[in-house]
Chains A and B, each alone.
Chain A
């Protein structure tokens, strides 16, 4: 049986390579796809919604150069568009709108906040930290900056630093945010169970009508804690609630998708990805879902029933990003290298690079999985030491 699988694996790998080449050529060779002219002048090429139209008009407004308030407003709109449409380009647009304050140490606080937001979105975490540090020195009572920095600390695996910022939120009269923030920090520094109990209780006591962004955030935090407590059904519930409130919440959507993949439910995972644009994180998960589906030998589904093609598309997207010199999602890349390319050494190398940038629970799990697969005891030891020093708990795997 093993040898058969190996043979199939080799053939699969070979055909995957060929498909990748074909897809990549399709991407890369501008000359291959011939330019064309539509028959009718009424052929629709692109549709813009109201906010896009508005932003476009503002962008081209002749007086934008001199209109500082307008530029800030525009940047804010671009950031919102970027999140709504899952389009990276808009963050570049936002950053360009704030160009005049690029080197300005005394830029207006809203500008600094926006720049921090863009930086953290683009995974320039250290830069975001520096920006927020400066901002909080200028205005220690800036709520958004404080929350952002607390969240950044958690992303970078520094719950103790986050605690200080969370504490400050009480004096800013935000008890709900403060409590969730503290619970989140405590959950990664030795108090997973109590923190989860606290957050669940708080969330259950919220009136069902209340649906705001603080609550949405709290659902995400609860889902993470539930997963680390080994309570996958509860994690699913929290994520579904987050998606019900905001179907555009890409993070929760992908987290739920990962949960489905983890619990061997590829059909549901793929359904979640159906309407999303073809970017690397989505192509990665489509390929993973397709792979699981074919492994299960379930009957073909409309969406993603061709594992080799899905894999080729993901690889082509990764190569395209590399060619353009865009910083890749290291976490996603490592995962792809581990689970799709079956290259644990490379995956571990990428996972370690990712480790230098961010240390969320997912990153920890990924590093452990890569280190295990590569048989690298030193890396495992490193994670163990980090975990012990923080008293970081994650029961979804044993170290």
Chain B
């Protein structure tokens, strides 16, 4: 009863003193190919409660007692700690035992070398002390490892998170998806590509015949012609350049892309865009494709190009489709008398043309 009252009345916000029980694991794969250095540091107190150290039961744990309990400790660690590489369990070698201090606590330090396979991701499973301590924390440090592709990592294992492994190399689908994303992203942030495309599409908002109310189909056809020409052209050069069939100077390509914008703007202003739209789309599309190729080259290595290529191209098309689909309705729904439309198209063309000129200057004279 007394205990019960103590429990109830001890002030709730009692200050915590010693921190929770903590263990330290240090893993260093940088040795020879198949060997991994492992160091396990466990608090003497935790070991006493989990395994038992006080052989003569006198309440005094000595260095001699800790030393002689090495086999028992190794057995315990063998049961509770697992290291694997590439999915294969590593065999722990003989252990050397020493002491170390963390904060104000003494720790037993067991150092060993684990025989692991030489390939694959490292994985650690630790159940150390969770059976006796719900709040136990195991601080895991893994030194730099080329093979597993990671930098040195530090991780905290708890009773609910007992497993750690280096990042798995991405599966093929994840890779593909990543490049699709990159493709779409590139065209969305590629104002120069979009500007060019818009310049070609804008004049199509005008009546293609002299009627006020043009038929839908001819307009759709024109839009499709321009977009398809652009797509075909940039795909061709993107594929050829990425597969090494074409070589080009990125600097010149960038400049030419800027030039294409200026030309398209001029075509709009001179009112010849609708006639030469598809041709310009194709011709300059070839150049734009080279621009995409250099963007792709930035994010791939020379050995892995095909899947990224397909994904990236796909992404570019998707991105382009999204933009066109957004703009598409406007080309139809935009109501306004031809003069107003004309002026708007003119204004837009001048603005984008000006941007094109500034890019051109930047990319030639100032780079």
> Chain A interface (Cβ within 8 Å of chain B)?
27, 30-31, 33-38, 40-50, 52-53, 55-56, 59-60, 76, 79-80, 83, 85-89, 91-93, 95-96, 99, 113, 117, 120-123, 125, 143-145, 147-148, 151-152, 155, 177, 212-214, 216-217, 220, 250-252, 254, 276-282, 317, 320-321, 323-326, 329, 331-332, 358, 360, 362
A279 near B141 (CB under 8 angstroms)?
no
CA separation between A92 and B335, bound complex, in Å? 73
Q: Which of B22-38 contact A (CB under 8 A)?
A: 22, 24, 26
What's the count of A-B pairs with C-beta under 8 Å? 229
Is B45 touching A89 in the complex (CB atoms < 8 A)? yes
Q: How far is the CB of B361 from chain A (nearest CB, A)?
A: 46
Q: Are B99 and A35 in contact (CB under 8 A)?
A: yes
Q: Closest B-chain residue to A181, C-beta based?
A: B9
| B residues contacting the other copy or chain, number (CB 8 A) | 67
The yes or no answer to B109 lying at the interface (CB within 8 A) is yes
The 29 sampled A-B contact pairs (Cβ below 8 Å) are A36-B98, A37-B98, A41-B64, A42-B62, A45-B63, A45-B106, A46-B61, A48-B48, A48-B61, A59-B49, A60-B52, A87-B18, A89-B45, A92-B134, A121-B12, A122-B135, A144-B7, A148-B7, A148-B8, A217-B11, A278-B103, A281-B15, A323-B139, A324-B19, A324-B20, A324-B22, A326-B19, A326-B137, A362-B13
Could you say which of B125-133, B162-170, B239-247 contacts chain A?
B125-133
Please measure, in the bound complex, the distance between the C-alpha atom of A277 and the C-alpha atom of B52, giving whole angstroms: 24
**Smallest beta-carbon distance A31→chain B, Å:** 7
A152: which B residues are within 8 A, CB to CB? Answer: 12
Whether B4 pairs with A44 at a CB distance below 8 angstroms is no
Which partner residue on chain A sits nearest B130 by CB separation?
Answer: A96
- Compute how far the CA of A249 lies from the CA of B48 in the bound complex, rounded to whole angstroms: 27
| B132 CB, min distance to chain A CBs, angstroms | 5
Task: Establish whether residues B5 and A250, one from each chain, have CB atoms under 8 Å apart when the complex forms.
Answer: no
A86 CA / B104 CA spacing, docked (Å): 14
User: Is the pair B9, A147 in contact by a Cβ cutoff of 8 Å?
Assistant: yes
**Across the two chains, which residue of chain B brings its CB closest to A313?**
B103
10 tightest Cβ-Cβ pairs between the two chains A and B? A41-B64, A86-B17, A92-B135, A35-B98, A217-B9, A147-B8, A95-B134, A92-B133, A89-B21, A281-B15
With CB as the reference atom, state the residue of chain B lying closest to A95: B134
What's the nearest-Cβ distance from chain A to residue B45, in Å? 6
Q: What is the CA–CA distance of A87 and B109 in the complex, to the nearest angstrom? A: 22
> A216 to B9, Cβ gap below 8 A?
yes
User: Known contacts A35-B109, A53-B54, A251-B14; is A59 also within 8 Å of B132 by CB?
Assistant: yes
B44 within 8 A of A: yes
Question: Which residue of A53, A93, A145, A282 has the most chain B CB atoms within 10 A of its CB atom?
Answer: A93
Bound state CA distance, A143 and B18, in angstroms? 30
Most buried by B among A55, A59, A92: A92
Interface string of B51-64 (1 = CB under 8 A from A): 11010010111111
A144→B10 CA distance, assembly (Å) = 11
A30 CA to B54 CA, complexed, in Å: 26
Identify the interface centre among B13, B18, B61: most chain A CB within 10 Å of its CB. B13
Nearest CB on A from B31, distance (A): 15
What is the CB-to-nearest-CB distance from B298 to chain A, in angstroms, rounded to a whole number? 36
Q: Is B136 an interface residue (CB 8 A)?
A: yes
Q: Are A41 and B67 in contact (CB under 8 A)?
A: yes
Q: Give the complex CA separation of A280 and B8 in angstroms.
A: 25
Is the CB–CB distance between A44 and B62 below 8 Å?
yes
Q: Are B49 and A93 in contact (CB under 8 A)?
A: yes
- CA of A276 to CA of B16 in the docked complex: distance in angstroms? 11
A147 & B5 in contact (Cβ 8 Å cutoff): yes
For the complex formed, measure the closest distance between the CB of B104 and the CB atoms of chain A, giving whole angstroms. Answer: 5
Interface string of B93-131 (1 = CB under 8 A from A): 000011111111010010100000000000000000011
Q: Which residues of chain B are near A89, meaning CB under 8 Å?
A: 18, 20-21, 45-46, 133, 135-136
Query: Is B5 within 8 A of A60, CB to CB?
Result: no
